[in-house]
């Protein structure tokens, strides 16, 4: 009798796992969007070949681009090359990407940059915060940007037991930021299991010198994060759940969820159009092609614009869509005065005049 009960329980749990696997497969099996959407004046950015996972543009038009991400399960064309931060001045006629020098005393060989966020202090000093994965761990690196020298001076490495599997950050003040956790487990195999079982163990962390706390949880895979121009709202992409969480930000760093904008594509990094407050989302329309990379049939790219974010029915439109013939695995898009930069996890970067 006991054996029968055990067998029944085993059968039931296997069936449940199988159900979850089928749901997971369906989630990834998004049909290719039919119509390409490409602004007229777009060209690939010279010099960026190994990814441009995140992009942050200063109000002055200087764009920072993180490049060379090595991430479990994702393709990488230069596994032995350390990551870089590129700079582009979008005020120039033909902006060029230039790799920034990094000050001595920082281990550049292990530099594996992921999400980035800039912060301008009261004295106008520009700081760049970078999620780094040396040896696949997660740290947050703080750099001071020296515009004249075109260099980054490393100031500090932040580590914390809750800063694990960090994907993106958004800086609020000196050493104060939100960070997203994209997986609970650190190994690729276990994080795949985690996605298949649809565990919702990921969170958003509030970090400040005085207090570190989880301020939002229950995400399948918390990815891109940014704040509204008035700093009152925080937007978080749950990539596997294909949605964007709109949250109200409180003075003590706490977040209250206002709503979830459901989309039909995997949402990676988020930026805000400073002119309109719209969200721009870098998306993955063919996640299976990302996981099983084939240069003959590469993953495509997709950028969505979400208007009237706080209204009852935000408008969603496609700003860019390509089947991978031009740009593969788009992870971010950022705009500045009629110009747009689209970044990718492991591929090139695209510059468009809108
Ligand atoms: Ca970011
Ligand atoms: Ca990301």
pLDDT in tens, 15-39: 787 888 778 877 776 665 568 999 9
Write down the pTM of the prediction.
Answer: 0.94
Tokens of 273: 């159009």
Superfamily of domain 32-101+172-353: TolB, C-terminal domain (2.120.10.30)
Spatial separation of the C-alpha atoms in residues 205 and 200, rounded to whole Å: 15
CA of residue 261 to ligand 1 center, whole Å: 19
Spatial separation of the C-alpha atoms in residues 188 and 317, rounded to whole Å: 33
Tokens of 242: 């294909």
pLDDT in tens, 155-201: 999 999 999 999 999 999 999 999 999 999 988 889 989 988 999 99
Q: What percent of the chain has pLDDT over 70?
A: 98
Ligand nearest to the CA of 267: 2
Contacts of 3 (CB under 8 A, 6+ apart): none
Ligand nearest to the CA of 270: 1
Contacts of 43 (CB under 8 A, 6+ apart): 350, 351
Q: What is the mean pLDDT of the chain?
A: 94
pLDDT in tens, 285-336: 999 999 999 999 999 999 999 999 999 999 999 999 999 999 999 999 999 9
Lowest mean pLDDT among 28-42, 96-110, 200-214, 295-309: 28-42
Give residues whose Cβ lies within 5 Å of ion ligand 1. Answer: 54, 115, 168
Backbone angles phi, psi at 175, to 5 degrees: 55, 30
CA of residue 276 to ligand 2 center, whole Å: 23
CA of residue 85 to ligand 1 center, whole Å: 13
Q: Are 266 and 221 in contact (CB under 8 A)?
A: no
Ligand nearest to the CA of 280: 1
CA of residue 349 to ligand 2 center, whole Å: 15
Query: 269-284 burial by CB neighbour count: b if 16+ within 10 A, else e?
Result: bbbbbeeebbbbbbbb
Instruction: Indicate which residues carry an active-site annotation.
Output: 114
CA of residue 223 to ligand 2 center, whole Å: 5
In the predicted structure, residue 11 carries a pLDDT above the cut 80: no
């Amino acid at each position: 009798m006991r054996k029968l009960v055990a067998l029944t329980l085993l059968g039931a749990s296997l069936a449940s796992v199988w159900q979850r696997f089928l749901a997971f497969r369906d989630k990834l099996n998004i049909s290719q969007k039919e119509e390409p959407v490409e602004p007229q004046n777009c060209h690939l950015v010279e010099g960026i070949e190994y990814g441009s996972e995140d992009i942050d543009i200063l109000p002055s038009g200087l764009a920072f681009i993180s490049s060379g991400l090595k991430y479990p399960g994702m393709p990488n064309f230069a596994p032995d090359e350390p990551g870089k931060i590129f700079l582009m001045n979008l005020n120039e006629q033909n902006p060029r990407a230039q790799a920034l020098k990094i000050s001595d005393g920082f281990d550049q060989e292990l530099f594996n940059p992921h999400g980035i966020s800039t912060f301008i202090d009261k004295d106008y000093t520009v700081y760049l915060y970078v999620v780094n994965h040396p040896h696949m761990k997660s740290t947050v690196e703080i750099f001071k940007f020296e515009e004249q020298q075109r260099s980054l001076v490393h100031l500090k490495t932040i580590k914390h037991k809750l800063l694990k599997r960090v994907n993106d950050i958004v800086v609020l003040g000196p050493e104060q930021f939100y960070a997203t956790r994209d997986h609970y487990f650190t190994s690729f195999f276990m994080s795949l299991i985690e996605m298949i079982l649809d565990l919702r163990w990921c969170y958003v962390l509030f970090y400040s010198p005085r207090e570190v706390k989880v301020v939002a949880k229950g995400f399948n895979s918390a990815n891109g994060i940014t704040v509204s121009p008035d700093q009152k709202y925080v937007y978080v992409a749950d990539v596997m759940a294909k949605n964007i969480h709109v949250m109200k930000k409180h003075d003590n760093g706490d977040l209250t969820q206002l709503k979830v904008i459901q989309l039909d594509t995997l949402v990676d990094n988020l930026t805000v159009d400073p002119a309109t407050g719209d969200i721009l989302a870098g998306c993955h329309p063919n996640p299976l092609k990302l996981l099983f990379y084939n240069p003959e049939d590469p993953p495509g790219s997709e950028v969505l614009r979400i208007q009237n974010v706080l209204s009852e029915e935000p408008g969603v439109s496609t700003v860019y869509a390509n089947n991978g013939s031009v740009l593969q695995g788009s992870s971010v898009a950022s705009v500045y005065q009629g110009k747009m930069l689209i970044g990718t996890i492991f591929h090139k970067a695209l510059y468009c005049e809108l």
